[in-house]
Amino acid sequence: MAPLLVPVLAAEEGGGLSAIFEVGQSAYLWTIAIFLLALLPMWKFVFGPITRALDDRELKTREAAKAAEAAREEAKRVQAAIQEDLERARQEAARQVAEARARAEVREKEMLAAAAQHAAAERQRAQEEIGRSLAAARETLRGDAVALGIQVAEKVIEREFSDSDQARLEADLEQEMARR
């Protein structure tokens, strides 16, 4: 009800309704008083929530920045760990290749040694076979030479030797050929 009385009272004093809009010295004081009285509720209900919202936003921004920094550090750590694992894998692969190469070289040497040994054994066997064949051929040749010599001698002397004479002559001839 009081707000309705203000225009009526102002109209009775002689200024009419236009007196409400006149600015005087007291208007400045009233403006400051109203502003100061309104400042406390505005601070509590308007500026307070805005300030808290800004503070919360700043806090969330800082936390997000810290989280981003932590994530970046974690990413760097993981990248370093991956690089270390990759380097270890490269070294392991190089080691395995070197071991495989060394095993291949050892196997190659073993195979070459086995082949050389087999070739030497084959050569030895062939030489022994040649030696046996040569000895058998010489023995056959000696026997044939002795028989031929006896036949020639029989014809020359025209008589036939007895078996004991023939055996004695063969033995003498073989001894003589063995000495040469």
Indicate the domain borders of the chain: 25-179
Q: How confident is the model at residue 1 (pLDDT cuts 50, 70, 90)?
A: very low
Average pLDDT taken over every residue of the chain: 82
pLDDT at 166: 77
User: Which region among 60-69, 91-100, 152-161 has the lowest average model confidence (pLDDT)?
Assistant: 152-161
The pLDDT tens digits of the residues spanning 133-177 come to 888 888 888 787 777 777 777 766 756 667 787 788 788 878 877
Q: Distance between CA atoms of 180 and 162, rounded to whole angstroms?
A: 27
Per-residue pLDDT tens digits for 3-43: 444 444 444 555 556 655 666 667 778 888 888 999 889 88
